[in-house]
Structure formats: C-alpha cells, structure tokens
Structure 1
Amino acid sequence: MFLNNPNNPENLVPQNQPPNKLVYLNSNDIDDDDEIDISELLRLIRRRGLIIMGTTAALAISLSAWVLSKPPVYQGSVKLLVEPLNKDNADLSFLSDIAGPGALKGNELDYQSQIDVLKSPSVMNSIVEQIRTRYPEIIYQPPEDETQENLREKLNVTQAGDTKIIEVSYKDKSEEKILFILNQIVDGYLDYQAKEYVSNLSQAIDFSEEQITRVRLEVAALESQLENFQQNNNLIDPNSRNEALTTQATFLAEESEKVQIELDGMKKLAQELEQKLNLTPQQGVIVSRLNTEPYYTKLIEQIKETETQIALEGLRFGFEHPSVKALVAKKDELVALLNRETRKILGSGNSNLSLDFLTSVSNNVETTQQFFDVNNQIQVLEAKQRGLDEAWERLNSQIKNLSTTNKEYFQLQRELTTANESLNRLLALNENLQIEVARQSSPWKLITPINETIIEDVSGTLRKIALISIASLFSGAMLGLLVDKLDSSFHTVEDVKSSVNLPLLGVIPHNKFLTEITDKKKKRSDSIPSLSRKSIFDDESITFSLDSYCSLYTNINLLSSDTSIRSIVVGAAEASEGKSTTSLFLAKAAALLGQKVLIVDADMRKPKIHTYLGIKNKIGLSNLIAEDILPEDVIQSFDDGLSVITAGSKPPNPTRLIASRKWQTLMQKFKQDFDFVIYDTPPLMGFSDGKILTPLTDGLVFVVRMGKTRRPNVQQVINDLQVSKLTVLGMVANGVKNYMGGAYYGYYNYKNYYNDER
C-alpha cells in the first residue's frame, strides 16, 4: 500500500498519490552572471551603496590629506628665440645647392641635437660653477649623498612645438632659487651661442669666398661657350629666325589651300565635260592624249575631208565610179596611218579604237579643246601642289633643326643666368656676413623676462585630488562589486526568475514596520502571558499592502483549472526567510476573500504563528497527534473566517509525529472541513517535515527572501525536491525592495481596511 521514500522516516508516502510535478532548475543561471546591465548596476549601487561610499570617502580623505601635507613645487620657464624670423641677412640655405650636399653643414638647425649640446657637461659645467657661488649643493652629476642636488634632474630644455623657440624650465620648492638658476642658465646659453655664432660666421665667410671664385670661373666658361655656339651655328637672334620660319609656314599654308580649292574646281569641271562628250573616264584620258599630237590631228582632218569628197562624188557619179573608188582607197590609207599613229601614241593596248569614235570626238572640237585645256590646267595645279609639299618638307626640316639649336642655345643661356644669380647672391651674402661679424652679437634672443611672473605652482594638488577621488570611487565600486559577487543571496525578482525555472506566484514588497514588529515578537518569551500580546493584525504601527497576498492566493488558485487547490505547504530553504509571515498573511487574505481558512503551525521545533497572533500555545498540533483529543480542542477561530492550530508543546521527535497515520487522516479531514489549509513547516534544509507533508497536499509554495536566501541552498533544496518528485507550485519572492508592480491600492493601514470591510 505504501512506497519506500528515503525522505520519509516511516515510509508513509501513499502509493496511490498521483504523480507529482517535476521541478526544473537551470543550473547555469544559478551561477553569477558576469554581464551586468544598467538596471542591475543601479540595483547593485543601491545594495552596496554604504560600502562604495565608505570606501570612497576613506581612500579619498586619507590620500588627499597625504597630498596636502606635501610642500608645493614651483616651476619657472623662459623662452629663447634661437632663429631669426627674417633670415635674409644670413640665409645660407642656397650654398648647399651651389656647393653640393654636405658642403656647409649645420645650415638648418637640428633642435634635438642643439638641446643635447645645451644640456651637455661641456656647456653646463661653466654655468654650474656660477650657480654654486650661491648654492654650493648644486652639481651636474649623480649626487653622492642626500645633501647634494643634481641640476640635470630638475632642468628641462625643449622645443616649443614647431616654433623657433627653445623653452628652458626649472623646478624647485624655492621661487628665489628658481629665478637665480634660470638667470645663470640663460646668460650661459647666450654667451655660448655668441661664440658659436661668430665661429660659424667666419666659417661661412671663408666658404662663400671660395664659392665666389668658383662661380666666377663658371660664369666665364659659360659666356665663352655661348659665344662659340652662336658663331658655329650662325645664330645671332633665335627669336628673329623663328619669326621668319613662322612667316614662311603661314605663306605655304595659304598657297596650298588656294591650289587645293582651284584643283578641286578643275576636277569637277573635267567631270562635267566628260559627261557632255559622253566619254568614260578612260576615254577622256585617251582623247586628252591624242589631241596633244599635231600629226594625229592632221590625219583626222584629212580623213574627214576625204569622207566629204566620197559623199559628194558618190552622189554625183555613183559609188562605183573610178574616182570615188580612188577616194575610198585614199581614205583607207589615211585610216591605216591613223591607226599606226594611235598605236604609237597610246601603245598596243588601246589600238582597237574605232574610227567612228575618233572622228566623233574630233567633231566636237570646241568642247574637246575645252576638255583638253582643263586637263592641262589640272596637271599644272598638281605640279604646283607637289612643289608646295616639297617646300613644306624643307621648311619642317629647317624648323626641326632650329628647335634643336634653340634648345641648346637657351639651355646655355639659362645656365649662364643661374650662375650670374648665384654669383650675385654670394657677393651679397659675403657682404652681410662681414657686417654680422663686425656686430659680434648672438642671434638668440630672450623673449621672456626673468621675474616672479614666470613662476607657477606645478604641484597639481587639485588634479591629484581629482584623480584620487576618481580612483577612490572606482576602488569603492570595485569593492562593492566584489562583495556583491561574493554574496550568493538573491537580491531582485529578476534573480529569482533567471535562477529557478519555476512559476513566480507572488512578489511580497519589503515592509520595514512588519520586519521590526516580527523581530520584536520573536524575542519575547513564551512565559509572557498571551493576553498581554497583540496580534500582528491589530498593531497599528504596521502599514503594508495586502494586494500582494491577494494576488498570491489568486495565482495559486489559477494553477489548477480543473479542481481548486485546497491545501498547500509553505516552506523555505533556511530560517528567517518570512515563510511564517507569508503563511499568516496569505491565510488572512484568503479569509478576507470569503474563504474558510485554516493555518497549521507545523514547525514544532521553533513555532512562530502563535507569537505573531498573540494567542496561547499550551496545546496544539503535537498534542492533537500524540494525545487523545479532538481537533476542536486545538483549533482557535477568529471572526473573519480564519482558524489556527498552533504547534503545541515541543515533542522529542516532531518528524515521527508528522509522518504518523493519524496525522494523515487529520489532514484529509481538514481538507474536507476548510476551503483552504496552509501548513507552515520548518526549513527544508536539514528537516524533512515539509517533504513529508507536501505529497499529502496540493503542493509546496517555496518562499525566497531577498538579501537572505542563498542560491546554493536553493539549488540543493530544489535538487532534493526533484529527486523526491514532489509537487512545487511555485516561488514567492519575499522582502522585495523598491518594487512597484501590482500595488493597486498602495500602502494602507490594514486594521482600518479590515474594519471598513467588516
């Protein structure tokens, strides 16, 4: 009839109990999540604000006090203009181009090298000797004891950005000492540079005189070379020669254009004459050639005359007359001569021309003559065009040769001009250098007066305090984050939702008044008469929202759509998580909603229900199970439909009583007599009372208190419930701070609400 259950000492879990719901736990979510969003960060700051602010204040105050205790450090800075803004009088830059790379080194100032020279012992030793006359502790080398002071460590020489200014600064705790040392350093630098400057000028003068001699020889050589080139190429003025060639080119272009226009017109006229004579282009050529031969023309005329005589004589005497036959014979001889002459002129390829063609052409004498003249004119124009083309070729050749000659001429002329300009600049530079040497002055200028105005406080106290404040705040935040990470308890509703995959049945807001009154009631002794105690419901100092408990009861009932939930076990992983107050106020909410409610204090080891209600606990659950008394003897009822069974006297083995068959029978009776029964049980960790009672009810409601319940304990309890296959209805987040959800009525005095309802 019963199944074995390791969590039930008497193995009294009914065999016919319906299958319990499984509990699912997302173990990955129970571990701390490394990602913190903005809302979580704000909640963390609220939780650990005291640690963050305390750590920040302690670090900031102590470190700021240490910074303020240090004496101030001053710095003086002066600026030296080391290159003239207008370098015309002593500009040596072009000498490198004349003499070649590396001929005159040091023309462009290398600031880093110059600074290294200024800080070198060769320059600073003499300056340090002057400083030691007033401050003998100053040296320019690593100190041998604490009484000596290394000038190099406090001296800073830099270029002011990309300017022509060198900035010299010195740090010390004494303003007077800074001014004296800067005076000595600036005087030493100016003296050093004056000597170096004169030395450089002397070197530049010698170099410029050498270059003047060399450039003069170069100018003379170029002048002689240019004169010989003009003589050899018969070149006096290249510009006038260019103008003449340009004029010729223009004339040839105009003439060529005129000839081409006239030639095009003649060719067009020749085509019209060919069409008029009904000649093919080949025939036109033949006619043109034949008409140029006098003997051929004479033969044609004789043939025409003979044919005329034949026609006249034939009409007169008849064509068989001997005289007519003689004329025909004469014509045949003339035709034979004409054919020979034609072959002679045209060649054998065109000897097959008919006599009719030849005579017909000769009949249009005027047109043929015009055709002949036009063709002659075309030949003349074509010959003229060829002559112009030959002239163009000769002109282009001259232009090409002149271009090469001019290029060489102008190259020599440019070289000569450049050499003359270099010579003039060298002469002017040499004169300027002579003047600079005569002045005996350094080009470096002090542009900052050495007085109290150059002194500034560089201790950076405010900046250090600001950095300390930021670092302290960061340290406090890191400490708060570390403490929060090490704290394994739940802090928000989101933590509960993400860590445990169970329905969240309700959220109970944190109520400091309720916490204070429950803490006080826990400290009271059971020896104090019950009548002197107040019920937690009657204490006017408690103000809370009952809506959360009404919502909790409603959510519990909505879990089952077929049958209503009549009995539940309220449990928690650890003690002091609010399961008793949750059970009590849940029962009160159900009673106010018209339900007949019984709350049973099943925590016989450390009962609290009677303390919160201010009632007696002489007899209760332990007496009902262990003794022969009726339930009516232990049930204490209230006017609002709420009934209570207190824990009773403390038994030696509460688990044995809970697991007894009598108690199971009583639980079934309570379920029939009341609409809603709530069992307040001991903590689930370490005690099996809740696990024994849960199968006999509709399920377990798990209470988790924010800031108190630890995640590993919840994980262990839920894993145990999984193994036991017990029904867990859901979770209740208790003591949630700054929770606004579901507050329909807001906070109000419970007693007034209850009296109004009644």
Structure 2
Amino acid sequence: MNKEELHLRDVIRIINKRRHILLVFLLSVVVLVSVATFIMTPLYEGVTKVMIEKTEGGDLTGSYNRSSYDPIFHETQFQLIKSRAVARRVVNILSLEENYDALIGKTVQKTSPLRFFAMELKALPERVRNLFKSDEDSPKNDAAESSKKDDLAKIISEQILVRPIEGSRIVNISYLSPNPELSALIANTTAKAYIEETLEMKLSSTRNSLQWMTKKAETEAKKLRQSEMELQNYMKANNIVTIEDRMTVTPQKLSEINIQLIRSQSRRKELEALYSKVRKVGRDYRAATTVSAISSDPSLQAIRAQIVETEKNIMELSNKYGAKHPLMVKVKGDLQVLRRKRNQEIDRLVESIKNEYELAQANERSLRSQLGSTKNEALLLNEKFIQYGALKRSVDTNRQLHDALMLKLKEKSITEETSPINLWIVEKASVPLKPARPWVAVNLLLALVIGTLGGIGLTFFLEYLDNTIKDPEDVEARFGIPILTTIGRWRDSEKGLDQVVLNEPQSQFAESYRALRTAIQLSFPDSPPKKILLTSSEPGEGKTTTSVNLAFALARSDNRVLLIEGDLRKPRFHKLLKLNNAKGLSSYLAGVADSQIIQKGALPHLAVIPAGPIPPNPSELLASNRMKMLLESMSKEFDFIICDSPPLLPVADTRILCRLFDGVILLSRFGVTTYEVLGRSNKLLDDMGARRLGLVINGFDAQKSGYYHQDYYYAEKPKDSPAAS
C-alpha cells in the first residue's frame, strides 16, 4: 500500500517528537559560534574610495568617450589592486621592512591567541627549513631583504579587499588589521600604489609598442618592395598585360563552342541515321521513294506526278489502240524516259545526303578540335592567373599592413602620453574608531538559522534512519493490519505489568487490555473468535504479559476463559501465576497425563494449563492430533481459549498452532520491532492462511511517538522501567 503524503502536521509531529535533539543541536551551534566570535581579534577596516573609468580614444584630437560598463575590465582592475606588484609598491612606499616593529609589531601584539597560533603554525615549515640550512647555504643580505619584502607583500595582498559600489564607478579599497592606524595607512597607500602601477604599466606598454611597431613597419616595407618586384618580373616574363579581360572572354568562348558542338553532334547524328537508312535501300528506287528526305524533294515530286500522268494516258489509250500502235509506243517510251529521270534524281538526292553527312562529320571534328585547344588555352591562362593573383594579393596585403602600421605608428607617437584609464582618489581612508569584524549580530543570527535548519534536518535524518514501529496509523497504512490497542510503557519500577488487570483494575494499562478485549469481541460481532492465539515476531515483545492480562480482562466479564501456555520452550506462566508446572500441556501431548492438567486461576471463571516440563521436541508435540482434540474438547467447556505461543520467526511452533485457532493476534514492541520484521511475520501468517485479528503495540511511548502527546494518561513521567516480556 502506498504511503500517504507528508502533511504539515506530520512535520510538526516529527519535530516535536525529537525536539530535544533539535534544541541540543541549536544550542551547540549557538555556543560554538558565540565562543568563536567573542575570542576573535577585533579587526578595524580602513576604506579608501577610488573612481575607475575606462576611456577610449576617438581621434587624434585628444577627445575621449566614456565606455559602458565592462565587467571584464573592472574585474581586471580589481585583481591588479590585489596583486603582489601593488603590494610591493606599498611596502617600498612605507618602508615596511624597516618600520616592521613600529607598524606590524602592534598588529601581532593585538592578535588573539587563536589567530596567533594559526599564524605561528603557518610559519612553522619555513622556520624548520631555516634550522637545517648551513652557513654556506644562507642567503645574502639582499636576498634576505627581498624575501622579507615578498612576505610583507604577500600579507598585504591577502588582506586587501576590493568592493565596487553598485550603480557607480567608485570602488572601495579596504584593509583589515587589528591596528586601526595601520588599516587606514595601508588602504590609502594601496590606492596610491595602484595609480602609480597603472601609469607605469601604460608608459612601459607604450614604449614597447612604439619600438615593436617601428621595427615591424621597416620589415613590412621591405616585404612590400620585394613583392612588388616579383609581380612586375612575372608580368614581363609571361607577357601579361590584360589578363583579367582574357579571363573574362575565354569562358564565353568556351560556352559558345560547346553550344555549336552540341548542335553539330545533333545534326551529324540525324544525317548519319538518314544516310544509314538510304544505304540500306540501295538501288531499290521504289523503296527509296518512301524515305521522307527523298520523297519530299520538289523535283522528284514533279517527276513522279508526270509518271502518274503518263501511266494514266497509257491506260486510256490501251482501251482504244493496240500495243503496237504508234501512239502507244510513243507514250510507253515517254514513261521509260520519266522513270530513268526519276532514278537519276534519286541518285542525286542520295549523293547529296552523303555529302551533307560527311560535311557534318568534318564540322564536328573541327569544333571538337577547337574546343580542345580553347580548353588548353583556358587552363594555361588559369595557371598564369593563379600565380598572378597570388603575387597581386601578396602585394595588396603587404601594402595594407604597411599602411596600417604607419598610420598606427603616427597615431601612437602623438597619443603616447594619454591613458586609457582615468583614476581618482575620491575619499581617503580615515582611522576607524570601531572594529568592523567580527559581526556579532550577524554571526549569532546565522548561528540561530543554521542551528535551527541543521537541527530540523538532523531530526528528519534520525526519523528516516529509525525504522521501528512508532505510529499506529503508519502501520495500518503500510500493512493493512488493524491496530487493536496500544499498551503504554510501564514506568513503575516497584510493580510489574504482568497482572495489572488483576492488581490495578482502574489503571490506564488495565483499560488498554479491556480495550483489547472489546476490540476482539466487536471485530466479528456475529461469530467472535473463541480460540485466540497470541504471538510476536521476535522474543521480548510482550506475548506472555498480554496473554495473561487479556485472559483476566475476559474472565472479569463473566466469560469462562482457558489460558494455555503454548510456549513449550521458555514457559513463564507457572512463575507469574505461581502454579505447579510438574504436569501441563507437554505432559498431555506426550500421553503421560490426562485432562487433569487444568489448574484453577486467580479469578473464578479463569482456568490455566501450564506448559509442563520442557520437552525435547516441542514442534512434534504441538503438531500431534492430541493438541487438536484438546482444543475441540475445551471449546465446549469454555467461552474463550487464550493461548500464548513462541515467536513466529525463530521457530516453527506458532506456524503449526495458528491453523488450530480461530484468530491470531500479532504483538510488536514500540521502538524495537522494525517494519521489515513485521512485514515478514505478516507475510508468513498470510501464507499459512491464518485469520489475523489485528496488531497490539506494547511499550507505547506517546511522547516519543509524537502521536498522542497530549493524552492525559501520558502526562506523568515517573522513572522508566522496562515492561515484562
């Protein structure tokens, strides 16, 4: 079953339950921060305000425009202020290596023991190295002074703070020191040293730039002259005057030749196909007239028309005259002449087609040859142009670079005294009257916040690690087991909980057992269970105590109750109820005793069967048929049978008994039984088909649970004592 969402009331309950841990953690953090704050050395802060502006030269007239905010530029300036170079200038300006005792010595005297110990610990490695150095290896005086300056510069650079004022170009340069005079002096000197370092860097950069640019301009002038000579010599050697125009015309010429070649190829293919067709016809003049190129000739068409007309005359004359008539002979002669004339015309046309085909072939060859030569010319021209272009680009590049360098050189020589940064000391640091560190109020507030949040986090972490049963509703939500009742934690060290229903019937503990009795009777109102087995997951969870008190509670309501000690391994009934354990359940199951094993209890309606002597084979005895017969016979005489049993997980006895009873009550102990153990026990009962009546939580502590923390019964807090198991 899915767990419900965590509500605000659950958060409050967890915090309230572990409020002692929260308070201890909060108090510890506050005490530690308070102690650390009050033993810290008071540090005074000297603050100098400096305005930093970046300017950009607009022209050679000296006018400048203020640039917009540049975070990279400003961060660079901040790092420069904190640099060792500026710190060394401060050391030199103040002669700190000579005035160390007068200035730095006061600082060391005012240092707190904690800070002094940290400083000494940091300087310990250097002192150890100096102990092992020989006289020959000792540095000279100049080197020693330089090392001392570097150490002082390192101290100053680490203590300098740079903070820009938001929305302005003003920067606060501050220095923290236990000596208020020294803090103001270092802050003012750092601002002055920063301005001097910036100007020195600018002048040095300008001088280096002019020297480099002068040498570079001379080098580029030589390169320009050399490249111009190479270009001129190449143009003379290759007779190149108008190469750009030729590079423009040649592609157009190639394109035109390509177009003519394509047309010539098409024409040649057409004539080739026509000539091939005519050759196939050969001397077959009648078939030749079917070729469109021949039949469409006007001369041939005229001859063919004459032939048709002559043939028509022959047909008309043949109807009047015979074959040898002079007119017939004349007309037939004319027909023969026309046919020869037609054949001659066809031969002429065939020869014409052949000539056109051969001419097309020659034209195609000529164009192809012209195309090849033009391509070779273009390739040669292209190679020349590539070399010419490379030389010309080299000349152009060298000329541009030379001109740019000359322009920059002249501009730099004019504007070398200008600075790209405007620096002003807006306000000098004054000697502080109050320490700036530590921030007592802020530290205490942070301690409260961190302590509270850390304490809450610790309470939830401990709650997460605590996987034992504490919340009845959580158990029901996880496993679906109804909670029959919760038995509070017994706190009276002089009295036991074993017979509280009998000895203290008005106590809240007795009321809890009566609530368990009522829950059993109302759980199944039509057929309440008569045979009830009590078990737990592991030893020490209160089975015996709960069995005895439940039997007392049922017997007090005028029910005939039989209490059976089903735990044949570690029986306790005879000790709690002061019974004779010479005979009991083990004796009956082993067949050495009869039903006279029943003994009278402390109440009139209560009977008890003790465990008897401890047998070597408890599981085999409980699994025998005599146990089933005993329960069936006792069910007729008693209204309820309450049976205590061994723990469910360690041994198999309870798994045998649970099938013989109408219902099983599972017991657990608050803060001891884990959810994993309870889950395994619950699964075992389900696998065996046991009828679960519900769960009883023993040793319930309402204050630790945070659940019923306002219950009246949990108001008193006597000394704790563990409840009997």
Calculate the TM-score normalised by the size of structure 2.
Answer: 0.51
Map of 1:67-466 to 2, 5 A cutoff? Answer: 69-79=39-49, 104-105=63-64, 127-133=90-96, 135=99, 149-163=154-168, 165-185=170-190, 447=427, 450-453=430-433, 455-460=434-439, 463-464=442-443, 466=445
Q: Indicate the SS of the match to 1:181.
A: helix
Determine which structure has greater relative contact order: mean sequence separation of CA pairs < 8 Å that are 6+ residues apart, divided by chain length. Answer: 1
Offset at residue 492 of structure 1 (A): 0.8
Offset at residue 675 of structure 1 (A): 0.9
**1:91-142 CA-partner distances (Å, limit 9, x unpaired):** xx9xx9xx98995115679797685687788877655422224655999x99
**2:489 paired residue number:** 511
**1:615-653 CA-partner distances (Å, limit 9, x unpaired):** 554443223433644544532223352332222332222
Return the letter of the residue paired with 2:468. Answer: S
Q: Distance in 2 between matches of 1:445 and 1:742?
A: 67
Q: Indicate the SS of the match to 1:581.
A: helix
**1:319 paired residue number:** none
Structure 2, unmatched stretches of 5+, are: 105-143, 201-421, 717-725
CA RMSD of aligned residues (A): 4.8
**1:729 paired residue number:** 693
CA contact (8 A) 1:545 1:745 kept: no
**2:603 paired residue number:** 639
Offset at residue 727 of structure 1 (A): 2.1
Q: Kindly indicate whether residue 668 of structure 2 is the aligned counterpart of residue 704 of structure 1.
A: yes
Q: Indicate the SS of the match to 1:507.
A: strand
The structure-2 alpha-carbon separation of the partners of 1:649 and 1:593, relative to structure 1 and needing over 3 Å to count, comes to same
The structure-2 alpha-carbon separation of the partners of 1:65 and 1:617, relative to structure 1 and needing over 3 Å to count, comes to farther
Q: Distance in 2 between matches of 1:151 and 1:748?
A: 63
Return the letter of the residue paired with 1:584. Answer: V
Q: Distance in 2 between matches of 1:451 and 1:72?
A: 15
CA contact (8 A) 2:483 2:694 kept: yes
Offset at residue 54 of structure 1 (A): 5.2
**1:256-295 CA-partner distances (Å, limit 9, x unpaired):** xxxxxxxxxxxxxxxxxxxxxxxxxxxxxxxxxxxxxxxx
**1:516-538 CA-partner distances (Å, limit 9, x unpaired):** 8558x8xxxxxxxxxxxxx5446
Q: Indicate the SS of the match to 2:491.
A: helix
Q: Distance in 2 between matches of 1:710 and 1:169?
A: 60
CA contact (8 A) 1:496 1:733 kept: no
Q: Kindly indicate whether residue 551 of structure 2 is the aligned counterpart of residue 582 of structure 1.
A: no
The structure-2 alpha-carbon separation of the partners of 1:486 and 1:447, relative to structure 1 and needing over 3 Å to count, comes to closer
Q: Indicate the SS of the match to 1:707.
A: coil
Return the letter of the residue paired with 1:643. Answer: A
The structure-2 alpha-carbon separation of the partners of 1:160 and 1:582, relative to structure 1 and needing over 3 Å to count, comes to same
Q: Distance in 2 between matches of 1:584 and 1:685?
A: 22
CA contact (8 A) 1:587 1:597 kept: yes
CA contact (8 A) 1:536 1:613 kept: no
Q: Distance in 2 between matches of 1:510 and 1:66?
A: 45
Q: Distance in 2 between matches of 1:703 and 1:709?
A: 9
Q: Kindly indicate whether residue 619 of structure 2 is the aligned counterpart of residue 655 of structure 1.
A: yes
- When Rg is computed on C-alpha atoms for both structures, the one with the higher figure is 1
Return the letter of the residue paired with 1:452. Answer: P
Offset at residue 507 of structure 1 (A): 1.9
Return the letter of the residue paired with 1:567. Answer: K
CA contact (8 A) 1:580 1:609 kept: yes
Q: Kindly indicate whether residue 629 of structure 2 is the aligned counterpart of residue 675 of structure 1.
A: no
Return the letter of the residue paired with 2:154. Answer: E
Q: Kindly indicate whether residue 680 of structure 2 is the aligned counterpart of residue 716 of structure 1.
A: yes
CA contact (8 A) 2:90 2:186 kept: no
CA contact (8 A) 2:536 2:667 kept: yes
**1:41 paired residue number:** 11
CA contact (8 A) 1:80 1:447 kept: yes
Q: Distance in 2 between matches of 1:49 and 1:618?
A: 53
Offset at residue 569 of structure 1 (A): 0.5
Q: Distance in 1 between matches of 2:677 and 2:583?
A: 33
**2:535 paired residue number:** 571
Q: Distance in 2 between matches of 1:149 and 1:171?
A: 14
Q: Distance in 1 between matches of 2:81 and 2:572?
A: 88
Return the letter of the residue paired with 2:586. Answer: S
**2:651 paired residue number:** 687
Return the letter of the residue paired with 2:489. Answer: N
Return the letter of the residue paired with 2:432. Answer: E
Q: Distance in 2 between matches of 1:636 and 1:705?
A: 30
Further displaced range: 563-572 or 643-652: 643-652
Return the letter of the residue paired with 1:733. Answer: I
Return the letter of the residue paired with 1:490. Answer: I
Structure 1, unmatched stretches of 5+, are: 1-25, 84-92, 196-441, 522-534, 750-758
CA contact (8 A) 2:566 2:645 kept: yes
Q: Distance in 2 between matches of 1:121 and 1:175?
A: 23
Q: Indicate the SS of the match to 1:652.
A: coil
CA contact (8 A) 1:569 1:694 kept: yes
Identity of aligned residues (%): 24
